[in-house]
Amino acid sequence: MKKQELQPTEFNEFYARYISKVPDKTSLKKGFENDKEAVITFFLSIPKDTLEYRYQPQKWSIKEVLQHIIDTERIFMYRLLRIARKDMTPLEGFNQNTYINPSGAHNKTIDSLLEEFTTTRLYSINLLNSISYENLCNIGIANNSPISARACAFILLGHSIWHMDIIKERYLK
């Protein structure tokens, strides 16, 4: 399954900013494996003394951005599972900002955050490998908009790229 197969009716236009970051010929399952390595390599390359840096006082630190990537993957893979299993119950949105303080990202080391990311990503890869092509095309409702199971996954691939680009542009100048 490749990104170019996605139809605009499979996701809210808000998510196009993330999906557009994923190259068209990216295979979903291989993309998750490659992205895992890219995320780990990227966050390990950041100097440890900048991990709690905020480019503005109200913005997240680099550690918090990584925690956000992890939490978002958990939520979107939950959505993917429900939609792939034909659960038509509308799924609520989530306020990403309320997740940060209780996450305790600043009390975690970069190694423990990356272990948390790796464990989450391996779960995601395992789940993707267990779902048929047909069921990845199922469409449900999340945050009051139609979304396919496969769109949930492609959003995640672009989401991590989006945030790594922001870190490069705004945190690591």
pLDDT for 59 beyond 90: yes
pLDDT at 81: 98
* 112 neighbors 66 (Cβ within 8 angstroms): no
How far is residue 75 from each of residues 22, 68, 91, 92, 93, measured CA to CA in Å?
A: 20, 10, 10, 10, 9
Identify the residue whose tokens are 């939490």.
Answer: 71
pTM score? 0.96
For residues 68 and 35, what is the distance between their CA atoms, to the nearest angstrom?
A: 16
State which fold the 14-171 domain adopts: Four Helix Bundle (Hemerythrin (Met), subunit A) (1.20.120)
Spell out the SS3 assignment of 85-98: CCCCCCECCCCHHH
Side chain identity at residue 82, one-letter code: R
pLDDT for 126 beyond 90: yes
Q: What is the dihedral of CA 165, 36, 133, 141, to 10 degrees?
A: -50
Q: For the chain, give every domain's residue range.
A: 14-171
pLDDT at 173: 83
